[in-house]
A = this chain, B = another copy of it.
Amino acid sequence: MTVSEPSETVTSSERAALDQLYTDFAAANLAPLWTQREGLMPNVPQPDAYPGVWRWSVLYELAARSGELVPVGRGGERRAIALANPGLPGTAYATPTLWAAIQYLGPGEEAPSHRHSQSAFRFVIEGEGVWTNVDGDPVAMRRGDLLLTPGMRWHEHHNTTDKPMAWIDGLDIPFVRQLDAGFFEFGSETLSTRDTPSRARNERLWGHAGLLPVGAPTTKASPLMAYRWESTDAALTAQLELEDEGFPGVVEPGHAVVRYTNPATGGDALTTIRTEMHRLAAGCRTASIRVAGSAVWQVFAGGGEIELEGELHTLKTGDLFVVPSWAELSIATETGLDAFRFSDDPVFEHLGLDRVNRKEEA
């Protein structure tokens, strides 16, 4: 009960009047602030989402069973199985803004063409042989690659091999659903192309560091749809080497980070989702930080442990963990660890809601 509530000395007639008032509020589709202010406006974020870990081995096993039992096709569209945060019951949301799923495509399978206002990416932890056609431009998917399908771009996937392939999908489905900003269209029933080039047309146009094609228009989301592991790995390696040589580059000792960006603007690759790859050198322990905004991480290589809201979790390659807003996180590794992170940071930054708290060393 808040201070604004009438005191216990109210008379019974006052109480009756008050009861009538609340009844009348409800009848008029109104609700008083004073009885719920604290829940609506907490002192610091009180996320419903649960901070926790999802094991890749579990995800993969269930995805593979789905591959046996559930066809891919029009309507369901994708054989994707999403992290359903138990703190957000009834949803298939990892956080209030982010969707994270494993997608599984069997030998020779095709996922049909569609487009939507939701921004999407795929990040590949293992395997290869699937191509995503983006507006008819075939983009190879290989281990360590980040592949984009920004809002309203047609896309379809097809597996050209005789082996299944799985990866994670990240989207802003919860955020767009909350905003009622979603538009969706089905595309053609047949693949736009069966070409399987190693390098997509968009990579050939936009994938040259610092060089922009003058003849191509710039866009808010990245026109580059593929960020290859070789390049990401080299960038992270360089940061840690520079640190060893005594030069700046890392965000904290032993902790290298690259952000995937629109080469034409330097802004985030997707308008609503930040994507980054982190590398921790062997023996690194990050500072404990709280960030306003939520994130999902996946261990890409190596292993380690996290302290997340006071709980320790040991992580292996492929494991995902969800960091709700303002949850305290520290990551440590003895042998080194690469981790992919995606978050709603761009939303916070564009709107002036970003905030970070870094815990000082004891």
Residues of A whose CB lies within 8 Å of any CB of B are 2-6, 14, 17-18, 21, 24-26, 28-38, 40-47, 49, 52, 54, 58-59, 62, 65-66, 68-86, 91-92, 96-97, 101, 116-118, 151, 173, 175-185, 201, 204-216, 218, 220-222, 224, 227, 231-232, 234-235, 238-239, 241-242, 245, 247-252, 256-266, 269, 271-272, 276, 292-294, 324-326, 344, 346-348, 350-353, 355
Contacts and interface: CB of A to CB of B under 8 A. Distances in A.
Contact of A76 (B3, B46, B97, B151): B3
A180 B215 contact: no
| Chain A, interface SS category | loop
A73 B4 contact: yes
A178 B96 contact: yes
Given A28-B58, A263-B263, A213 B4 contact: no
9 nearest CB pairs, A to B:
A4-B76, A34-B76, A180-B325, A2-B75, A3-B75, A31-B92, A204-B238, A45-B180, A214-B257
A324 B178 CA distance: 11
Given A29-B86, A69-B6, A71-B4, A262 B210 contact: yes
B351 A213 contact: no
A352 B220 contact: yes
Given A178-B178, A205-B238, A213 B249 contact: yes
23 contacts: A5-B75, A28-B54, A30-B82, A32-B80, A33-B77, A40-B177, A41-B118, A45-B181, A96-B180, A97-B179, A175-B178, A179-B353, A201-B245, A204-B241, A204-B242, A208-B232, A208-B234, A209-B263, A210-B227, A214-B259, A215-B248, A218-B266, A266-B266
A211 B234 CA distance: 10
Contacts of A207: 209-210
A208 B235 contact: yes
A31 B81 contact: yes
How many protomers of this protein does the assembly include? 4
A146 to B, nearest CB: 9
Contact of A210 (B68, B97, B260): B260
Contact of A232 (B181, B206, B211, B292): B211
A352 B30 contact: no
A73 B264 CA distance: 40
A208 B211 contact: no
A78 B2 CA distance: 11
A326 B65 CA distance: 39
Contacts of A2: 75-77
A104 to B, nearest CB: 11
A222 B210 contact: yes
B77 A215 contact: no
Contacts of A77: 2, 4, 33-34, 37
